[in-house]
Amino acid sequence: MYLTQGLHRAMQQHPDRLATVDGDRTFTYARSAQRTAKLASALHSIGVKPGDRVGMLALNSDRYHEYLLAVPWADAVLNPINIRWSPAEIGYALRDSQTNVLFVDDAFSPTVPALRASYPGLHTVVHCGNSPTPEGMFSYEDLISSGEVIDDVRRAGDQLAGVFYTGGTTGLPKGVMLSHANLMTSVLGMLSVGSFLSSEGRLLHVAPLFHLADLAAWAGQTAVGGTHVMLSTFDPTAILQTIERQLVTDALLVPTMLQMVVDHPAVGEYDLASLQNVMYGASPISEAVLSRAMKTMSSARFMQGYGMTELSPLATFLRPEDHDRPDLLRSAGRAAPCAEVKVFDSNDRELPPGHIGEIVARGGNVMLGYWNKPDETASALRNGWMHTGDAGYMNERGYVFLVDRLKDMIISGGENVYSTEVENALCEHPAVAACAVIGVPDELWGERVHAVVVLAENSSATAEALRDFCKTRIAGYKAPRTVSFADALPLSGAGKVLKRELRERFGEDRPSKADSY
């Protein structure tokens, strides 16, 4: 199993089907395969050796698709880079993985001098934008023109396919090493459910491709030989237009996107009836947003995927039929056909249903390890299970309910407080547009429940009013003792609130609580 396998099948079974649609530019699978093979040969000609890491810092485009295929075709290793990172963070990831060859598009070519300053080892840059190629970079299309159609290399499934940097929400980024088999196991697990992607379908890529959520959807759509519809930026109007014009059948949307699309004032003017399947995930979703989305996109089946980069990324699915049951809408679903999922206590003993512990998973989708981090790898994979760092419980039917990131859990006066529970209560207040709850050091309580609140437009509320509001919904010790107001919350590339940054701002970062419950 390897990422290019689907391309070979598509060439054999329907070479004239569109592989990519990027604005007015389209390529059939036959063209896509030819371009991939030529790009792979060009990678060799510019010095890429087997096993070398090749980075990609770009918005979604048809060339991202070709990059994802050409790098393994050339026997090299993918390193898709978080587009929301600073040059210093990107420099860290390039240096850590010794990624000396990087693709950049028009949006990111201006950052190349800063990247080179941050990581002088970056010796080769390929410009894959549509503007003229800047000085000192290779032109993507010139490379393809000069390339030859070479054979796809033989490989074993357990060979390293890519290094995927994560850690937006915690400390220094870690390079997650995934094999071809890891990724394809997750893909086959997703396809086995039968409620997402199809060979005749058109998948919208609007979530960033560097992130495993959309990358896995890409790998699945490539495996079945369907069409990729690329959108370079997140804009609700563009999404609605593209769904209508390109007859999009499948979409992977993170909750923020889903909300902005369904709450768009002109949403009713677009024909969304081509939608068959919507997969959502990567961060928590509110029931209200989900219900509105299911109404607005009524032709689509909804499926939630939960997982993490280290699980390639899928661990559980909340299937379309589960969405008919209101009591399950807050669940992350059940173990995927490729995985085994359990809830462990801090001694790695399985907990019975209803008890909160750490979600763990094992299966062919579990990463090879963290790049150059044997200790972190051993810790994450101890006893053969991937420890997700997510706190949650399972019901009597195997449905997983997440309660918090373990490190976001607050211990105040000896009581466990799950930040998400407090956030859910706070968010019900009409003046609250967004909020995040963290623990900050407190001499009396050990930790104090602290809320950072973004007020809705033309609304106001005092800290005391919010605290009193919460007390009507949750236990008094869980209500925020202190509240700060902010214009916005810091978000990671995947749209997750960066609580680490909030803790740095409003208190000191605390030691991990992984063993404290």
Q: How far is the CB of 293 from a second copy (least distance, A)?
A: 24
What does DSSP say about strands 77-80 and 432-442: parallel, antiparallel, or unpaired?
Answer: unpaired
Sequential DSSP letters for 22-50: ETTEEEEHHHHHHHHHHHHHHHHHTT--T
Residue 415, φ and ψ in degrees, nearest 5? -100, 140
- Letters for 340-359 (x = contact with a second copy by CB under 8 A, - = none) are xxx-----------------
Residue tagged 């040969």 (tokens): 41
Question: Which amino acid, 93?
Answer: A
Tokens read off for 5: 């396998």
Residue number with CB closer to a second copy (233 or 383) = 383
Q: What is the dihedral angle through the alpha carbons of 281, 300, 63, 192, rounded to the nearest 10 degrees?
A: 70
Alpha-carbon span 223 to 163, nearest angstrom: 20
**In this structure, what DSSP letter does residue 455 have?**
E
Tell me: does residue 158 bind a second copy (CB under 8 A). Answer: yes
Residue 469: CB atoms within 10 A of its CB come to: 18
Which of 255, 364, 369, 392 lies at the binding interface for a second copy (CB under 8 A)?
364
Nearer to a second copy, 8 or 473 (CB): 8
Place of tokens 């997982």: 307
Stretch that binds a second copy, among 297-305, 334-342, 479-487, 503-511 (CB under 8 A): 334-342
Does residue 14 bind a second copy (CB under 8 A)? yes
Q: For residue 132, give the amino acid letter.
A: P
Task: Determine the interface stretch with a second copy among 4-12, 70-78, 293-301, 508-516 (rule: CB under 8 A).
Answer: 4-12
202 forms beta bridges with: 227
CA-CA distance, 449 to 37, in Å (whole number)?
55
Q: How far apart are CA 304 and CA 278, in angstroms?
A: 8
Q: Counting contacts by CB under 8 A, is residue 170 touching a second copy?
A: no
Interacting stretch for a second copy, rule CB under 8 A, among 104-112, 277-285, 306-314, 336-344?
A: 336-344
Mark residues 400-419: x for contact with a second copy by CB under 8 A, - for none: --------------------
Residue 295 contacts a second copy per CB under 8 A: no
Distance of closest approach, residue 158 Cβ to a second copy, in angstroms: 7
Determine which residue in the list 174, 205, 228, 334 makes contact with a second copy, applying CB under 8 A: 334
Q: What angle do CA 434, 435, 441 make, to 5 degrees?
A: 165
From 9, 292, 330, 373, residue interacting with a second copy (rule: CB under 8 A)? 9
Return the residue of 154, 295, 457, 511 that touches a second copy, per CB under 8 A.
Answer: 154
* Closer Cβ to a second copy, 37 or 437, answer by number: 37
Q: Give the count of residues interacting with a second copy (CB under 8 A).
A: 37
Residue 461 makes contact with a second copy by CB under 8 A: no
Transcribe 209-256 into DSSP letters. Answer: TTSHHHHHHHHHHHHHT-EEEE-SS--HHHHHHHHHHTT--EEEE-HH
Q: From the list 134, 284, 398, 507, which residue makes contact with a second copy (rule: CB under 8 A)?
A: 398
Cα-to-chain-centroid distance, residue 118: 25
| Contact footprint for a second copy (CB under 8 A) | 1, 5-6, 8-9, 12-14, 154, 157-158, 181, 184-185, 188-189, 191-192, 194, 223-224, 334-335, 337-342, 362-364, 383-384, 394, 397-398
